[in-house]
Amino acid sequence: MVTTALLSSLATLAVVFVVFNLLPSEKTIEKQLLQKYDTADPQFRRSMGVLLGPPIIEGNKVDVLLNGDKIFPAMLEAIRGAQHTITLETYIYWSETIGKEFSDALSERARAGVKVHVMLDFLGSIKMDVAVIDAMKAAGVNVQRYHKPVWWKFTRLNNRTHRKLLIVDGNTGFTGGVGIADRWRGDAEDDKHWRDTHFRVQGPVVGQMQAVFNDNWTKATGQVLDGQHYFPELQAAGTHDAQMFSSSPTGGSGSTHLMYLIAINAARHTIHLSASYFVPDELAIKALVAAQQRGVDVRIITPGPDIDSDIVRAASRERWGDLLKAGIKMAEYQPTMYHVKALIVDAMMVSVGSTNFDNRSFSINDEANLNIMDRDFARQQVDIFDADWAKSKPITLQAWENRPWTEKLHGEIASLIGSQL
């Protein structure tokens, strides 16, 4: 009798857990946006900077870093040169060779008196050796595990920090798609080395990046990081106009979704979308189709067979029908896993960062994207997109319609949990 009662209680708890995870925490955007302006209209910038979040700030310099051979040395150089503060927030951090390099560099700076704060997502860093975390703490690194499960708040484990932020001395920032793991090493030369892009940022917008880090740090610790070593006076460093945009279920989870929809809706010439995890909802599909139908050239790159989540690829491909029928060009990257997350609109506006084109990023996870308004920078990103496109396999409507029935079935099943992907 006791065993039956216990099993019944456990089953009830399991159902409650699933329900709490699957129910949306906030109202979602329900209607397709009307096209009221395009990217050439000053209203586009005003809406991006006022309706959505922090203002667009002038005077920034954003450098593109392609693949681990360029990304990791730049990040480690900045860490090793830190004089006052380091703030790092990331999803993936594993105990591998690159993880050791970062842990050693962070620990050395902490022992030198630099204030080092590291925010790790609990699930994303679950492969990290606890001994490494303990060694960092012993060196003086303040390490926090975001949403470490406790029995009375276990459902919040589904809300992860997916942000990728590194800010050094409050004046140099990094963001993009890269996690701290060996799969990001190299130059995307084979299937063991992923293709990804990260960005080094200098100028006034770094203050916004630091504020985004502070958001989760304060939630997790109750401590506010403030003062000149975290928020120094920042002078112009370049010519890029930019804003650091963030979202979370506790502070407007649908805002990133809205940002993407506004940008797509404002396009009048081109949309280049690099999407490492592409599971669009109905509104996003309608927005992309509407853009193509009004004459916008829409191209999308997704991962090919080399992907770390087969269920995401199945759910993604299941939703391509309307896109391909509208004439949208889609292609799958072939050499290795494609982990790039970038939206380029009219070769003018670029959005890069941690956000995937799926419901998990749009409404469940904590995300952060850097939006850059600069034609020269955008054209550079288009050139990079074109180079990736040349290594991708175009997918035609006929090929999609003729895919094996097993793949279709897999896609239908995967779509049942599309809201969680």
Is the pLDDT at 149 greater than 60, yes or no?
no
Q: Which amino acid is at 288?
A: L
Q: Which helix (DSSP H) or strand (DSSP E) does residue 301 occupy?
A: strand 297-303
The burial class, CB within 10 Å (0-12 / 13-18 / 19+), for 114 is: buried
The top-level CATH class assigned to 25-420 is: alpha beta
- The two tokens of residue 222 are 């109750």
Domain edges within the chain: 25-420
Is the pLDDT at 8 greater than 50, yes or no?
no
Cβ atoms 294, 327 nearer than 8 A: no
Cβ atoms 56, 373 nearer than 8 A: yes
User: Within 10 Å of residue 382's Cβ, how many Cβ atoms?
Assistant: 17
- Residue identified by tokens 């920032």 is 173
Task: Band the pLDDT of 358: cuts 50, 70, 90.
Answer: confident
List, for residues 50-87, the tens digit of each pLDDT value: 877 789 999 999 999 999 999 999 999 999 999 999 99
Cβ atoms 247, 313 nearer than 8 A: no
Strand pairing of 329-333 and 297-303?
parallel
List, for residues 375-392, the tens digit of each pLDDT value: 999 999 999 999 999 999
Q: What is the mean pLDDT of residues 396-409?
A: 88
Is the pLDDT at 154 greater than 90, yes or no?
no
Tell which residue, 50, 99, 24, 417, has the closest CA to residue 254. 24
Dihedral sign for Cα 323, 330, 415, 178, please: negative
The percentage of the chain sitting over the pLDDT mark of 70, rounded to a whole number, equals 86
- C-alpha angle 273/276/278, rounded to 5°? 70
Cβ atoms 343, 271 nearer than 8 A: yes
Q: What is the pLDDT of residue 2?
A: 44
d(CA 49, CA 404): 46
List, for residues 286-334, the tens digit of each pLDDT value: 999 999 999 999 999 999 999 988 898 989 999 999 999 999 999 999 9
CA distances from 356 to 3, 10, 256 (A): 44, 34, 10
Task: Band the pLDDT of 188: cuts 50, 70, 90.
Answer: very high
d(CA 146, CA 89): 9
Tell which residue, 256, 297, 344, has the closest CA to residue 48. 256
Cβ atoms 219, 212 nearer than 8 A: no
Is the pLDDT at 373 greater than 80, yes or no?
yes
Model's pTM, two decimal places? 0.89
Q: What is the pLDDT of residue 159?
A: 65
Highest-pLDDT range among 91-95, 145-149, 225-229, 407-411: 225-229
d(CA 12, CA 31): 35
- The two tokens of residue 77 are 């150089």
Is the pLDDT at 25 greater than 50, yes or no?
no
Tell which residue, 175, 115, 176, has the closest CA to residue 140. 115
DSSP string, 148-168: ---GGGGGGGGS-B---EEEE
